[in-house]
Amino acid sequence: MFGFNVLKQSTKSRARAGVIQTAHGPVETPVFMPVGTLGSVKSVTPEELTASGVQIILGNTYHLYLRPGREVISRFHGLHGFMNWHGPILTDSGGFQVFSLAKLARVTAEGVAFQSHIDGSSHLLTPEISIEIQGWLGSDIMMCLDQCTAYPASFEAAERAEETTFDWARRCRDAWRSAGGGHQALFGIVQGGMHQELRRKSAERLAALDFSGYALGGLSVGEPLDLMLQTADFSLPLLPDEKPKYIMGVGRPEDLIDLVCLGADMFDCVLPTRNARNGQLFTADGTLTITHAWHRTDSDPPEPGCACYTCRNYSRAYLRHLFLSRELLAYRLNTIHNVHFFVDFLRRIREAILKDEFEDFKKRFYENREI
Ligand SMILES: [Zn+2]
């Protein structure tokens, strides 16, 4: 059921356009995936996501496992039925949130023991349990449990995390295979901090396990931008070209265009949704802060020419008023625009790649930015 085809490879860079086939339909790449942490992309409905051009969303295993949990979600035959989103879903392994949100996370021989950030209850997340949870969530793409290192991480610390990540990846793959694999794909995650030797080792060992796709984890964790791009530039070509390549948790529009140029196919980030709720709107010229006084009587839409529902119907002055009045509609309208901006940005990048004009597109993008 799962498949990936590269339709066009740029002649001037590693940028490429492709299609991923999933049990819930195709995904055209490069693609941006909005984050639906708790079973919703905050403040917008699935219909609004579809109207914004969203093809695939991300769900967080850690949160959904703790609340509402298996009994509730299984009654709806998985996350698709529960949240009424019938397009493709990617779920993370839960590992990142265990290490960043849960209390007292401790790596053991079996997996990682932690206490819920909600009620302090004790849990154990193992590679096998992560695959089991993602199984009942019913996502189209599951991720292997991994251990992400903070920045900076010593060689020794990054090496230990890479070892754990590889061991867990093997166990995830075995659990996935013994569950039958079915219609759900499984991606491996490359770790190794900013150490090229470890990234190479991680990528090569994971490639040998033959996953459905591959992700680079542990990027955008506080390292300088140059080092993030350098690590991605080094690591992406080490992954099999016939599989989708996903950069986790990055980032800004300028990061996305640079990473597409280096050969990345998939992205997720909370930036468009989180910033929308902070009154920050993304535009081709840069970020617009809706609270600024000069938007008080501004009758322009957030981004003139934008085809989203918000820009077709509302002015900056109205959005500013809603935001300053803390009206709930502010979050929804801002989110619709930002999600549309990211999704449409990747759609236009894809179009440019298909015409082999991506590098010109990238040049024009940087010329338009107010830096
Ligand atoms: Zn718009």
- The tens digit of pLDDT for each residue in 304-358 reads 999 999 999 999 999 999 999 999 999 999 999 999 999 999 999 999 999 999 9
pLDDT of residue 354: 98
Q: What are phi and psi of 155, to 5 degrees?
A: -55, -45
Average pLDDT of the chain to the nearest whole number: 96
CA of 260 to the centre of ligand 1 (A): 23
CA of 52 to the centre of ligand 1 (A): 9
Q: What are phi and psi of 11, to 5 degrees?
A: -85, -10
CA of 114 to the centre of ligand 1 (A): 41
Rounded distance between C-alpha atoms, residue 118 and residue 130, angstroms: 19
- Judge whether residue 62 has pLDDT over 60: yes
Residues 69-90: tens digit of each pLDDT: 999 999 999 999 999 999 999 9
| Token output for 252 | 């800004």
Rounded distance between C-alpha atoms, residue 323 and residue 331, angstroms: 8
State the average pLDDT over residues 200-216: 98
pLDDT band at 370 (very low <50, low <70, confident <90, very high): low
CA of 342 to the centre of ligand 1 (A): 10
Q: Which residues are catalytic?
A: 92, 268
ω into 240 cis (within 30 of 0): no
Burial of residue 249 (CB within 10 Å: 0-12, 13-18, 19+) is buried
CA dihedral 174, 180, 185, 189 (to 10 degrees): -10
Nearby residues of 347 by Cβ (< 8 Å), 6 or more positions away = 28, 53
Token pair 């990617």: residue: 90
pLDDT of residue 297: 98
Rounded distance between C-alpha atoms, residue 250 and residue 74, angstroms: 31
Bridge pairing between strands 31-33 and 25-29: unpaired
pLDDT of residue 332: 98
Cα 29 to chain center, whole Å?
Answer: 13
- Judge whether residue 371 has pLDDT over 60: no
Residues 117-170: tens digit of each pLDDT: 999 999 999 999 999 999 999 999 999 999 999 999 999 999 999 999 999 999
CA of 289 to the centre of ligand 1 (A): 14
Residues 161-196: tens digit of each pLDDT: 999 999 999 999 999 999 987 799 999 999 999 999
State the average pLDDT over residues 229-253: 97
Total residues belonging to the chain: 371
Secondary structure of residue 223 in the 3-state scheme: coil
pLDDT of residue 306: 98
CA of 301 to the centre of ligand 1 (A): 7
Q: Point out which residues pair with 288 in neighbouring strands.
A: 281
| Sheet of strand 122-125: strand arrangement | 103-107, 112-115, 122-125
Residues 10-56: tens digit of each pLDDT: 999 999 999 999 999 999 999 999 999 999 999 999 999 999 999 99
- Judge whether residue 235 has pLDDT over 70: yes
pLDDT of residue 181: 79
pLDDT band at 217 (very low <50, low <70, confident <90, very high): very high
